[in-house]
Every structure is written in C-alpha cells, then in structure tokens.
Amino acid sequence: MTQTATGEDARSRVERAALELFTSRGFDAVTADEVAETAGISRRTFFRYYPTKADAVWGDFAAHVGRLERLLRAADGARPVLATICAAYAEVNGYGDADLPVLRQRMRLILTEPALQAHSQLRYAEIDRVVAEHVARCTAEDPAALLPRLVAASTRAAATSAFAAWLADERTDLGDQLRRAFDELAGGFPSLPG
C-alpha cells in the first residue's frame, strides 16, 4: 500500500524507471537492481511485478491483447477480413497525443535493442494467436492451417513496419502508416514494380 507523494503506484514507477534508464544507457548496461532501486523497491519485488527485465517496458500488454480480441469478436462479419484486422489494430493503437512520447520511447527500445527485439516475438505470438483464431472463424478453417497463420503473421508484419516507419520519421502519423501498410497488403503490393 506504500505510495509516493505523486500517488503513482509501484508498477507504474517501475515501468517509468525502466523506460528512462534503458533509453539513456541501453538495455544491457542497466541491471535489474538499478531499475528496482530507482523505482524504490527490492530486486525480488521487481521480478514479481514483471517476470523478466524485458517485460517492464511492455506495460499492461495482456490488456492490449484482450482489447484486440474483443474488437475482432465483435467485428462485422460482412466486412473484408483484412479491413477488420486493420481497424482493430488502429483502434487498439489509437493513442492520444499526450501518450505519444512514451509510446515512441517504448517502441524505439523494442525495435532497436536486440534483447528486446528478441523478447518481442513472445509478445507478438499472443497477438498472432488471437488474429489467427479470428481468421479461422471467418474461413471455417483450423487456426493452425496455412491461411490463418499467414494472415496473422503478415498483418503483424504490416503493423510493425508501420511502427518502424513512424519512428523513423517524426512528422508522420501512426494511423496513416498503418493504413498505408494494410492497403499494400490487401492490394497485393500495388506500389511494387512488375
């Protein structure tokens, strides 16, 4: 029940400390002890909040996946599958302007730090499962069949590419990049020569 004067709870304090330290000194150069100490808790408690050092940058990712799943289940069945998935991704990643700096910080870490890049695959797998199940419902197939897997993996590829392009150019809008990527995917890459 201990809280700081700011009223921020321990979990958020850990996340903020992790983002700040990893950004300024690099993921590998910061020990879990340092993050814990900065957040004002013990190393042991740190690993109770987040099962690995890498998880500290992801915030409440389970809620993220949960929202995506609910959106897909509630989606209009008459709409094209890719359009549904694109809309769900855009909705789930529709941050307000105030949250964009933190999102940038988080995504920059995830996309550039090798250890976090590796770890991200485990988080993405949860998203892929949810999307593949949605496609399987739409096509009356096994979620493990080629098409559901492929749609899940390539729409996620679209999302991460959009994030990367958005990070690379400060002036662009994340939603625009997402839609551009999904348009290329749905249209069989019209911008490609040949």
Partner DNA sequence: TTGCTCCTGGCACTGGGTGCCACTAGCCTC
Partner DNA sequence: GAGGCTAGTGGCACCCAGTGCCAGGAGCAA
Using CB under 7 A as the binding rule, whether residue 30 contacts DNA is answered as yes
Does residue 61 touch its own copies according to CB under 8 A?
no
Determine, following the binding rule CB under 7 A, whether residue 4 of this chain makes contact with DNA.
Answer: no
What would the two tokens of residue 68 be? 């995506």
Which of DNA, its own copies, none does residue 32 bind (CB under 5 to 8 Å by kind)? DNA
Please choose which of its own copies, DNA, none residue 189 contacts, taking the beta carbon within 5 to 8 angstroms, the exact cut-off set by kind: its own copies
Residue 104 found at the interface with its own copies (CB under 8 A): no
Tokens representing 182 are 């999904």
Cα distance between residue 156 and residue 176, in whole Å = 16
| Other CB atoms within 10 Å distance of the CB of residue 164 | 14
Among 2, 6, 24, 121, binds its own copies (CB under 8 A): 121
Q: Using the rule CB under 8 A, is 191 a contact of its own copies? A: yes
Which tokens go with 163? 């994030």
- The correct pick among 13, 53, 123, 149 for binding DNA (CB under 7 A) is 53
How many amino acids of this chain bind its own copies (CB under 8 A)?
48
The reply to whether 93 sits near its own copies by the rule CB under 8 A is: no
Which region, judged by CB under 7 A, interacts with DNA, from 34-42, 58-66, 70-78, 133-141?
34-42
* Least distance (Å) between residue 40 CB and DNA: 7
In 3D, which of 187, 65, 183 has the Cα closest to residue 133?
A: 65
Q: Which does 31 bind (CB under 5 to 8 A by kind): DNA, its own copies, none?
A: DNA
Task: Tell me the C-alpha distance between 162 and 92, whole Å.
Answer: 14
Give the footprint of DNA on this chain (CB under 7 A): 1-2, 10, 30-33, 40-45, 47-49, 51-54
